[in-house]
Structure 1
Amino acid sequence: MRTERKVVRRLVVLAAASAALFIGAMPAQADNGPHVSTATNEVKSGIKISDAGQGRCASCHRAHTAKSAYLLNAASEEDLCLSCHGGSGTGATTDVQNGVGYDSSATTYYPDGKTVLTVKRGTQVGALRGGGFEQAMLGTDSATKDTYLYTYADGRVAYRSKNQLIPPAAAPKGTTSSHFGGVGIMWGNGSLSGTVNVGLDMSTTTTGKLECSSCHDPHGNKQYRILKPVPSDSGFATVIPGNTQPGVFIKDTANKVYTTTNYWIAGDPAALADTGTTTTLGATSITDPTPKATTGTTTVSSFQANVAAWCTTCHTRYLAPRSSWKTNSGDAVFTYRHTGDNINGDAASNRNCIQCHVAHGSNAAMPNSAVENPGDTALSTDSRLLRVDDRGVCVMCHNV
């Protein structure tokens, strides 16, 4: 679940948006502030320019004195995003460099009275749900769970797990994996194939390098964390039934909470009330990972219902239904796969991408469990964005 080093140095911080979830909602994030959509992209007469957010443009752009492409008022997209979402950023309460969330002690608004211009960071309120690109606050060495005896309908008795907890760390720690860096491969991108193909090589291309705007729309799109339905260069072209355009759409939320008190809770309970749905996206079959909408009985947030499919717009072959652990997919590299599309609720213990991995960066340590990259034989201690030390995410569910 990583697209790595050179290529991602710039996904950095617009991703601040996607990071987060649980503890107190905060203003001026990437899906608010100058990124907020002001409904000018619609057929409408007599739009009042002051209400359309005319002051937002100069936050990021200069018409005649820009310092980089796209008329950016910074040397690079990364620098621009970090000016708000970095460790010393002045435009947002989310510090995605270090995985820390703050409240705001003061805000300034544009003339429309609604769009935030600047934010002064106040008290640290928690750890960002998606970790951080350079440092993160996952308590990866402090994870716990309870076990209990469960009796199945056929009379079998077995131990099961509950009350899993991954607390935030007391302070940020250096990341051991992030979408900030790696070997430059979009792992699993492409169709299932009997020919060895580990994914899309992005390390040698300049047009395909990962930027913040590869995953996020800086101008707002009314989607969850302003995520693009089709990330740049993913190649995803499927129009899912019910939609008119390609991509995976995740409904935006009124209640935006970016921090967490338990990293095992991977859904978005704060969004459940206003985006609840029983329609979820999973793999079409073991041999066809194309997302397909299904209707269940459990109500979950739009985020939980769609996030696994959204991750696999890039990491295509990772989306797998149950029984994929024992059935050959036909792919030469991603042959047998853990279930990746199971959704039981927003709390925890789902079998999908976001349950085991964080979006931005993890500080998990892997000193005793080095594993090879897909299609390779050399061992690596890279933590793969996992939430617990030494592949402990497995033991969070499985009693072995």
Structure 2
Amino acid sequence: MRTDRKVMRRVVLVAAASAALFMGATPAQADNGPHVSTATNNTTFVDGQPTNGVKISDAGQGRCASCHRAHTAKAPYLLNATSEEALCFSCHGTGGTGATTDVQGGVGYDTASSTTYPDGTTVQTVVRGSTQVLPLRGGGFEKAMLGSSEATKDMGVLGAHGWTSVNQLIPPAPTQEATTSSHLGGVNVMWGNGALSATPNTGKVMSSPKLECTSCHDPHGNKQYRILRPVPSDSGFSATAFPDGILIPDTTNKVYTTDNYWSVGDTNVPAEELTTTILGATSIVDPTPKIKTSSVAVSPYMANVAAWCTTCHTRYLAPSQSYKTDSGDAVFTYRHTGDNVSGDRDARSRNCIQCHVAHGSNAVMPNSSVEWPDGTTPSSDSRLLRVDDRGICVMCHNV
């Protein structure tokens, strides 16, 4: 994650934040265009011979040239840009026009227009509008809009474990702010990657200079949630029970924005797609994902996202009671629960995605310097957390 950014403290204007909450949600456009998967062919076979094929125009003959050049490419893999990052940002960046999602700036836009393939249903091109709608759920790589200093909660009833926290809110920030941590780049270490070991090992040095968009996403489409790769590049993940990696089925309706960064589940998962199976750690001393049964139905996204994150950060996947039980690892010895899933599609869970955003955070840590697993201590990195000064802890706990 990036460690060299400084963020100016802000004065949050209540009126501006309120306006952001009522601007609506971004239309579902991504995972379409050049990312539509055509891996499935509905061809009928008779005596082993196809009776019809996929019509090339329906399969997307115009998609290839959106990103590639056969003889005049500017980067490896025949990319029509000087780098992978530049290519992705040509649509999904601050100056991009071909997607409503600006992952560089962490904000969603409205749609000016769109066209479809000859099949009449698949989106071919999107023209971004000029109106910012709401910030992106995953934050942004260079700027983000988490209201990380304005997080609130209500104190609930007093129970056996103290006062419960309810009605948590992390509002959108009124303006975009520079990120203090980001998954695009960083220190080039997959913290916690590898098996539990009594020999100190903080993680794996990546083979590439930095993470790229396609480290996590498949640009050609794969019918996965957010076109996530079942196994991120260079993670080294392998599990006998999951030879195809961690699969998270896609949703029909896709909304990429949020008006509350504490609400991390996906309410757009249809009720008929909910599941009672979740992926959690096998045990405190074995973080390998294992299929478990939930007493209530949960969304496939929440049921699998922690296991997906820990294909890279292997030793972070921890079940309940890990906070007081020695894992046997010399570095990641006692760990916060990371595989809990609640029964709400808009789940608030003890889960990786509850505390961290995926792309980048603008939270600041002026009073909470915490060392990296290898003992070094940068003072400004927010570790992709959603609230200033490790306030994410107080969103659940009362101290």
TM-score by length of 1: 0.88
Q: CA separation of 1:377/1:122 partners in 2, compared to 1, >3 Å: closer, same or farther?
A: closer
TM alignment of 1:155-304, pairs within 5 A: 156=160, 158-202=162-206, 205-206=207-208, 209-240=210-241, 245-304=243-302
Higher RCO structure (Cα 8 Å, ≥6 apart): 1
Q: CA separation of 1:347/1:111 partners in 2, compared to 1, >3 Å: closer, same or farther?
A: closer
What residue identity is the alignment partner of 2:126?
A: T
- How many residues are aligned here? 372
Whole-angstrom distance in 2 between the partners of 1:381 and 1:177: 9
Single out whichever of 176-185 and 326-335 deviates more from structure 2.
Answer: 176-185
**Corresponding residue of 1:387:** 386
Whole-angstrom distance in 1 between the partners of 2:111 and 2:378: 44
**Corresponding residue of 2:143:** 135
Confirm or deny that 1:105 pairs with 2:121.
no
Whole-angstrom distance in 1 between the partners of 2:34 and 2:26: 17
Q: CA separation of 1:110/1:339 partners in 2, compared to 1, >3 Å: closer, same or farther?
A: same
Single out whichever of 333-342 and 376-385 deviates more from structure 2.
Answer: 376-385
Confirm or deny that 1:150 pairs with 2:122.
no
TM alignment of 1:43-58, pairs within 5 A: 45=50, 46-58=53-65
- Is the CA contact (8 Å cut-off) linking 1:134 and 1:175 kept in structure 2? yes
Single out whichever of 357-366 and 377-386 deviates more from structure 2.
Answer: 377-386
Q: CA separation of 1:319/1:119 partners in 2, compared to 1, >3 Å: closer, same or farther?
A: same
Whole-angstrom distance in 2 between the partners of 1:43 and 1:375: 54
Cα deviation, 1:270-320, whole Å, max 9, x if unaligned, reads 124353111110000000000011111221111100000000000000000
What residue identity is the alignment partner of 2:32?
A: N
| Structure 1 residues not aligned, in runs of 5+ | 7-21
Whole-angstrom distance in 1 between the partners of 2:112 and 2:376: 51
What residue identity is the alignment partner of 1:128?
A: L
**Corresponding residue of 2:38:** 38
- Is the CA contact (8 Å cut-off) linking 1:135 and 1:173 kept in structure 2? yes
What residue identity is the alignment partner of 1:381?
A: S
- Is the CA contact (8 Å cut-off) linking 1:39 and 1:52 kept in structure 2? no
Single out whichever of 31-40 and 141-150 deviates more from structure 2.
Answer: 31-40
TM-score by length of 2: 0.89
Percent identity, please.
Answer: 66
What secondary structure does 1:101 align onto? strand
TM alignment of 1:298-337, pairs within 5 A: 298-337=296-335
Single out whichever of 231-240 and 186-195 deviates more from structure 2.
Answer: 231-240
- Is the CA contact (8 Å cut-off) linking 2:145 and 2:175 kept in structure 1? yes
1:5 Cα deviation from its structure 2 partner? 7.7
Whole-angstrom distance in 2 between the partners of 1:387 and 1:120: 27
